[in-house]
Chain A
Amino acid sequence: MKNYFLIFLFFITLNEIHGSSFSLDKYEIDIESNFLGEEIVIFGEKSPEHNLIIILEGGGKTVRLNEKIKKKILWINKSTKYESIPNFFAIFSLPKKSLNELFLITKIKKNHYLISDSSQKLFKLRKALEQKSLYFEKPLIETDENLFFSRFKIPDNINSGLINIYFYKILDNKVISLTKKTLRIKKRGFIQKIELLLYNNSIFYVLILVLFAILFSLISNYTLRKR
């Protein structure tokens, strides 16, 4: 039933997607006070002779990789900073491809640093991102008439910003076409105002909290406490 819904969804958005052969059910995610992550459906059409690889890559950020090492009886962190590491990374493929298979496709290796080699450093970064649900590999599910889809979740710990979506058509381990789209993640409403207040008007941020703390404590003290 869900598949039929997706196919229907695909056809009604076919006009929008024109030359490219994939789409998302939404291209904008709003982070608001009830944000618990967001499920997204990726779907499209596939020609029988090609393999597909779709990569979602978030903006490059400075990250700190903490490795737990045992010193005598305590587990402590050994931290290393890395620049320009994507804050979100997802790989979809049809048929399912392992990372080792992706390493054989030069253009993909070149375009995406996080999966450019099988080094320990990148392995650890992928594992650490995976632990926060910010990295995953999933197969695309093929339905009738060369259509495909997959569902995935943008986790609640995602940073706001752009996620680039790369749609690769592969033939004999070579990229024969690449289509790019973007998914925008934005803080909105109260959440956005709070963040802006903290960073742009810190003193006012403190003042509101301090006044609230004093007033609420006094009110609860005078109204609820036993005299």
Chain B
Amino acid sequence: MTDLASVPLPPRRSALATLLRAFNANKIAWVGLVIIALLIFAAAFAPLLAPYDPLEQDVLDRLKPPTWDHLLGTDYYGRDTLSRLLYGARVSLVISVGATLIAMAAGAAIGMLAGWRGGRIDALIMQAMDMLLAFPSLILGLMLVAMLGPSMPNIIAAIALTSLPAFARIARAPTIALKGRDFIEAGRSLGFSDARILCGHILPNIFPEILVMGALWLANAIRTEASLAFIGLGLKPPTPTWGGMIREGFENILDSAWLAITPGVAVLVVVFAVNLLGDGLRDAIDPKLRNEA
């Protein structure tokens, strides 16, 4: 005699619920989310929020520490640090998000291709990816930008190239695992083209991992952009970039430390926030955490 009513069903969870659970378990991820939201807001509304024109110089008011007039002080040319910081946020966001998105798309495509085709192509692609990944990414980035010239597209391309191999690798393994599954076989026997299977069936399965990786590499991209600007390979002055501001501050560090440290803290806080978010996202998709108490 069966009593199926006594057999309990496992509870079903939507993606949003899983995400919320993970974020609640890892409460500090909310902090990351809030900071990033603030950053996007600040960057988007920089023209409205900035008290001064970021390019406006005032030689009488140079290298001042924070005052009521200039909340974060002024730089070597008398430009308001806060305003430059806000406009610099735009640069950082556009470049790092752009580079990460390109790396995600291109890297995932390459990884899926390698996993799907297998054989020589796979071996060749992965060797190239491994070499790229092993090479110090900052050196690679700075060589590319130095050789091609520090324009926005070039910088984005250079950072994208250094992030690309990670996405290729993370897209490849699940592709190989899924390749042999029945529903893929079924699709092929129905005559679906490779592209259709890859985009329609494999991509949705690997999307969460790629998203998490994207968050983590976004943090890297922001850091790399700032580093390049610090070395002198960022967007040319007078365009405000956080890295460039730190460089100027560094050159004048004996006169005013505020200039070097303030944008530095800004970069740090933003990278930290993105990392927190990425951590939270990763906990959300980690299968162990999903089933665990």
- Do A and B make up one complex? no
On B, residues with C-beta under 8 Å from A are none
